[in-house]
Amino acid sequence: MTSRLLDKLNMLDRRWIFLAMAMAVLAPILLQIGSDETPSPPTIKLFDEIERLPEGSRILMAMDFDPTSAAELYPMALAFTRHCGVRRHKLFFVTIWPTGKPMIESTIKGVIQADFGSGDRPYVYGVDYVNLGYLAGDAVAISQMSSDIRKARPQDARGTNLDQLPIMTGVTSVKDMALIVNASAGFPGGKEWVQYAATPQNIPIAVGCTGVQSTQLFPYYPDQLLGLVTGIRGAIEYETMLAAKYPNPYADRSKRPAFLRGGAQRWAHRLMIGLIVLGNGIHLANRYRRTLHP
Amino acid sequence: MNRETRFWTVMFLCGSLFLAYQSFGTNRGVGQQFVVRVDATTGKIIPPTTDAAAPAVKTVIYEPAAKDDPEAIWSFSRTAGIWIAALLTLCIFSYLYRDNVCYKLAESIIVGVSAGYWIVTNYWEVLIAKVLVKLAPDVARYAFLPDTPADAKADYLYVVPVVLGCMVFCRLIPKISWMGRWPLAFVVGTTAGLKLILFLNADFVRQVRSTVLPLVVFSASASGGSELDLIQSIKNIVIVISVLSCLTYFYFSVEHKGLVGRISRLGIWVLMISFGASFALTVMGRITLLTMRLQFLFDDWLGFVRI
Amino acid sequence: MEFHSDTPGKKEAIAMREKAIATSKNKPRHFAFSPRCFYGELMHSAVKIVTLLVLLMAHPSLSYAEESADSSRPISWFDTGKISFALLTFGVCATVIICTELARRGKPFYVRPIAGLLAMEEAVGRATEMGKPILFVPGIEDIKEIDTVAGLMVLSSVAKMAAEYDTPLEVPTSRALVMTAAREAVQAAALAAGRPDYYNEDRIYYVTDEQFGYVASVCGWMYREKPAACFFLGKFFAESLFLAEAGNAVGAIQIAGTAETTQLPFFVAACDYTLLGEELFAASAYLSGEPAQLGMLKGQDFGKLAAIILVLAGCVLATWDSISPRGKNTEGQNMPRRSQWITDTVLKGG
Amino acid sequence: MSKTVPVLIASLVGCLMIVAYFSPPLLPARQIAEDWFTIVATIAMLLGGANLCLHHVKKISDQEAGWGFSAVTLLSFFITIAVGILKVGVVPESEQQVKFAWSGPFQQEGSGFWWIYQYLFSPIVSTMFALLAFYVASAAFRAFRAKNVEAILLLVTALIVLVGQTRDREITSMFLPPPAEGVPTFIPIAFVTNFIRETFVTAGQRAIMIGIALGVVATSLRILLGLDRSYLGGDE
């Protein structure tokens, strides 16, 4: 009987596993189960730095990701931008991924125009924030930015000359930034910003990265990286801190996209653990059976 | 008709019936998108009007809106877009069952679209915004970028990279294909030079420096003196030993026997632990992505989830 | 393709192969030197021209230096803050160049045996026994990536073994240029094995540049043909998992290798042998037997040795600092830490 | 002979990049080289498009199996390019731009190119990556077997980090005595996860990075000295 079960498990069609995975992710989405997180030090460090910087500090927001990594990085980009907006820093959006431009645009639309576009002190384009758009040339573009922004891009994303924008007065290169905040999905990304700009020019940099990339970036922390926000967990941590500090309006569920993905994450992780354990159980059982009937 | 075909026929029928009911039988519909008309130059919303005499606005852009917004109008292109995106998503997921025509169709679409996407982006961002502006600022101002300064002078030095770049196409003509190597050499040479310096700086020097750690750490205690920080000391010792043993593993010109062999074995264990952690973190990313796609299907398209 | 495991030629080939393995196992590989004057001359002339041109370009009347530099200050030709990094760069480069030169002058360099390489024989042998084909994937990147070049280098030796056993070898590629290079490699290997008729152009083909399209096609082939051995050597990204999982499902012996650290966990978990990071490059240098490559490898090893020594020395000094901190000097300022010389002078960076 | 000039070009610009790093007056020359690099690399990418077209046109003209898919690819390729370059559906955004028809941003929301990105490119690409979640699960079940010491280390670490990455880690502190007032709960698995990340992962990655950095230096030197010409392709 157990032997038959073992045979069945050995021959299990992997489509059943696919189905189990789909269920583990789908059920929390449909049932609206979210998950909170306790912040970890590398995330807290970035949060504190943005808090500490005086109002109106220049922050370079480098959004180097595409739709394939938007699931992890877009909630992060939203949270970073919201925090900078609350602290009223001057934001310079830029990307070195051709597919990153729509990401910048939807971040601007979703945060700056929606949350800070009105009221008594609205964020004004060209004064409080600017979209420098896409820089071609991969890592070389970063190197160019760190020597002269205008050489890398004479105009902003709308085609306006950089010299016509008030925000650009006194800004010649990345050196004039108080902080680089990078949402990075791979090459070129966080590693290249550290290598080509932050380390040679001594500019503080914090990176929000995908889970895949985090092991590559962890060795740079804390010497070359000020903060490191990892994957969806990091995004949830940041949202949690933002919600704790500014409950109005950031404790609201609709402003916490990462929180809603947390529940699915938790269940899928449980499934993964179960599968690894079950798989190894089968492996051991097979070995045991082989010793019985060699 | 075999059993499998029958099963899938029934599944498709049920799915279509369900979609039909959801679209026409419910109030919300499936993937319905609404927009408001906005004057791009002023940023004001233009109310929908049937009055033909109303002044025509040249610069109308559309922004997403809620269905119950009084100024909202139904958007055909966006509704169709959501449907197409959802169906393509299902086509790709169908690969999990088996390689099939639907998957192949989605795949061949993406091959064309992604190649085209890169070309268009680079056309506008580099060829126009960088090259044309430098070579013919007047043309650029009149045709594409009105904000190009009127006093900008043409910089003919930029002819060189353009010519060099175009030499790439010599590769397509067998007789002069050797000329196609010049631009390649330029690109490879630039990256080689840059990489040499920057990798040595950030990945060699800096990483070795970060590994220079005291193996015994003292921290200020509450009483004013200093006491041994055991956890930090252990961490430092583990880091230093691990780095050294991994470096020994990657040392190729010594036979791994005796002491060296044992140290390098330790090195491979450290690498395995680091790969295990990296696997778990990768899993996290892939699952998030799946969550996003399912949210799209069940929230944006079918509308099952409402916060 | 029909496949008979008892063709007469094969037995001889197997015997020859076994003999070769037996002899090669006994002695470490050393490589003879064949001087290639052209390279040396070219190098010298290149260095001369480079120096000349750099001097020319550096001339103030040609560069923009006059506009940008403050006229009251003399132009500094060298950033003195970077002097230690410049020396270090020079040192590393010089070591690598010297080792390469020495190797080319005939100095033998030892390279340790690499587990994955020995397993390749076993994998090819098993495929022969089972009468099933071998799959070789040289990564999904273009020929300009060093991983791809290393993968192709391994391909030629796998192809040589396969040709000797007359076991079919399938090489789907994701780039047109890689296909051309792979065909050249396999053809040369077939010739070297003395079986020019083994080379079959149709088995080495281009699929598509698109990552997932390529994977779908390769995995489809794997499920249909059930290869007995799979080699994944080159640059891989997200598709590594698809390939390794499919290979595992069909029960093939899998040997993988990549320098892409994010993909190594999947290969390590799902494959039988994995060449980790630099091991792939070492393997290709080992298999190519090219003295220049072995010399470079030796030069890199010196770099690692320097890193190990610096870390050890620095840690000893830092620990000393920690146990008995240096006091204050006569002016009442804290004396610099003992480890500072290593961290802030030798390893200052640029 | 046809390779001498390219090798010289590569050596020259490469050396310029290195020397300019240490010599401030050469910085402008380096900037020019970087600017040119961007332009040359961009135009070189167009070659990829040309190759794609040739490949699929050949497939269609030979009526190879699946040539219909090639036709779909070509069609979507040309439609994307036409829509993007003609700025279909883009309107000028500011008062001064109204008289210039082609002045709006090419990715403006609501334009044709935006539609292609939003409803074709983005969903297909991200769903393809989402497939990996399923494969990861299947690999965990079938390939992650404790075959030897190395595999066991990999497995156990993966399990620990998997638990440590979600709030399920709090289960591990249930067996500990409740902490004193105001002291945060000690979570063993979170501690272990952090310890692994701060020590083993950092160390392992650092060693790989140091090794690869040296490898990059050696490879770059080979290119700059003209020893490595494989990037130029075979002799035709």
Q: Check which CATH number belongs to the domain holding A247 and give it.
A: 3.40.50
Q: How many CB pairs under 8 A join A and C?
A: 9
d(CA B196, CA C85): 12
Residue C260 resides in a domain: yes
Residue A36 resides in a domain: no
Q: Does D156 reach chain C within 8 Å, measured CB to CB? A: no
Binning pLDDT at 50, 70 and 90, where does residue C41 land?
very low
Binning pLDDT at 50, 70 and 90, where does residue A248 land?
confident
Write down the mean pLDDT value for chain A: 90
d(CA B109, CA B102): 11
B49-97 pLDDT, tens digit each: 666 566 666 678 888 888 888 888 888 999 999 999 999 999 999 999 8
pTM of the model: 0.85
| Residue B210 CB-density burial (10 A; 0-12 exposed, 13-18 middle, 19+ buried) | buried
Q: Are C296 and C96 in contact (CB under 8 A)?
A: yes
| pLDDT reported for residue B173 | 84
Q: Looking at chain B from residue 157 to 196, which residues have their Cβ under 8 Å from any Cβ of chain D?
A: 157-158, 160-162, 164-166, 168-169, 171-172, 174, 177-178, 181-196
Those residues of chain B that have pLDDT short of 50 are: 307
Across residues A78-96, what is the average pLDDT?
94
| pLDDT reported for residue C17 | 46
Residues of C in contact with D8 (CB under 8 A): 46, 49
Same-domain pairing of A168 and A124: yes
Q: Are C342 and C314 in contact (CB under 8 A)?
A: yes
Residue C154 has pLDDT above 50, yes or no: yes
- Beta-carbon separation of D165 and A233 below 8 A: yes
Where are the extended beta strands (E) located within chain C?
Answer: 134-137, 169-173, 204-206, 229-233, 253-258, 273-276
How many angstroms separate the first and last alpha carbons of chain A? 19
Among A184-188, A192-196, D12-16, the range with the most confident prediction by mean pLDDT is D12-16
| pLDDT reported for residue D233 | 60
B8-30 pLDDT, tens digit each: 999 999 999 999 988 888 777 78
Looking at per-residue confidence, does B132 or C18 come out higher?
B132
Same-domain pairing of A146 and A10: no
Residue C201 resides in a domain: yes
The ranges assigned to domains in chain D are 1-64, 144-228
Closest among A47, A18, A67, A50 to A210, alpha carbons compared: A67
| pLDDT reported for residue C47 | 56
Residue B72, φ and ψ in degrees, nearest 5: -75, 145
| pLDDT reported for residue C281 | 84
For helices B230-249 and C291-323, angle between their N-to-C axes, nearest 10 degrees: 160
Same-domain pairing of A173 and A47: yes
Q: Does B252 reach chain C within 8 Å, measured CB to CB? A: yes
Q: How many CB pairs under 8 A join C and D?
A: 152
| pLDDT reported for residue C153 | 86
| pLDDT reported for residue B259 | 94
What are the beta bridge partners of residue C229? Answer: C134, C253
Give me the domain span that covers residue C203: 113-289
| pLDDT reported for residue C74 | 62
CATH number assigned to the domain comprising residue C261: 3.40.50
| pLDDT reported for residue C73 | 56
Q: Does B199 reach chain A within 8 Å, measured CB to CB? A: yes
| Rounded alpha-carbon distances, angstroms, from residue C263 to A99, B275, C115, C277, D209 | 23, 9, 19, 10, 15
Of D34, D94, D125, the CB nearest to A140: D34
| Rounded alpha-carbon distances, angstroms, from residue B269 to A37, B125, B176, D151, D201 | 31, 47, 53, 9, 11
Across residues C30-49, what is the average pLDDT?
45
C218-247 pLDDT, tens digit each: 988 898 899 999 999 999 988 898 899 889
| pLDDT reported for residue D235 | 46
| pLDDT reported for residue B50 | 61
Q: Does D55 reach chain C within 8 Å, measured CB to CB? A: yes
Residue C298 CB coordination number (10 Å): 23
| pLDDT reported for residue C44 | 54
| pLDDT reported for residue A276 | 94
Q: Are C156 and C185 in contact (CB under 8 A)?
A: yes
Residue A164 has pLDDT above 80, yes or no: yes
| pLDDT reported for residue C38 | 41
- Beta-carbon separation of B192 and D224 below 8 A: yes
Give me the domain span that covers residue A276: 2-31+263-292
What are the beta bridge partners of residue A228? Answer: A207
- Beta-carbon separation of B215 and C209 below 8 A: no
Positive or negative, the CA dihedral D82, B116, D51, B189 is positive
Residues of B in contact with A253 (CB under 8 A): 307
What percentage of chain B reaches a pLDDT higher than 90?
37
Looking at per-residue confidence, does A202 or C142 come out higher?
A202
Tokens 């099963």 sit on residue = B7
| Residue B53 CB-density burial (10 A; 0-12 exposed, 13-18 middle, 19+ buried) | exposed
Residues of A in contact with D137 (CB under 8 A): 17-18, 20-21, 271-272, 275
Residue A85 has pLDDT above 60, yes or no: yes
- Beta-carbon separation of A26 and B294 below 8 A: yes
Residue D91 has pLDDT above 90, yes or no: no
| pLDDT reported for residue C70 | 45
Q: Which chain B residue has its CA at the smallest distance from D78's CA?
A: B116
| DSSP letter, residue B129 | I
Tell me the Cα Rg of chain D: 28
| DSSP letter, residue C328 | B
Q: Are A252 and A230 in contact (CB under 8 A)?
A: no
Of C261, C262, C350, the CB nearest to A200: C350
D182-232 pLDDT, tens digit each: 777 788 888 899 899 889 999 999 998 898 889 889 888 988 988 877 667
Q: Are C87 and D32 in contact (CB under 8 A)?
A: no
Q: Looking at chain C from residue 244 to 273, which residues have their Cβ under 8 Å from any Cβ of chain A?
A: 249, 261-262
| pLDDT reported for residue B57 | 67
Residue A93 has pLDDT above 60, yes or no: yes
Q: Does D161 reach chain B within 8 Å, measured CB to CB? A: yes
**What is chain C's percent helix, strand, coil content, to nearest 5?**
60, 10, 30
What are the beta bridge partners of residue D209? Answer: none
Overall number of domains in chain A:
2
Binning pLDDT at 50, 70 and 90, where does residue C111 land?
confident
Of D8, D212, D227, the CB nearest to C39: D227
Same-domain pairing of A281 and A153: no
Across residues D22-41, what is the average pLDDT?
88
- Beta-carbon separation of D211 and C300 below 8 A: yes
| pLDDT reported for residue C149 | 82
A17-35 pLDDT, tens digit each: 999 999 999 999 999 888 8
Closest among C279, C298, C285 to C107, alpha carbons compared: C298
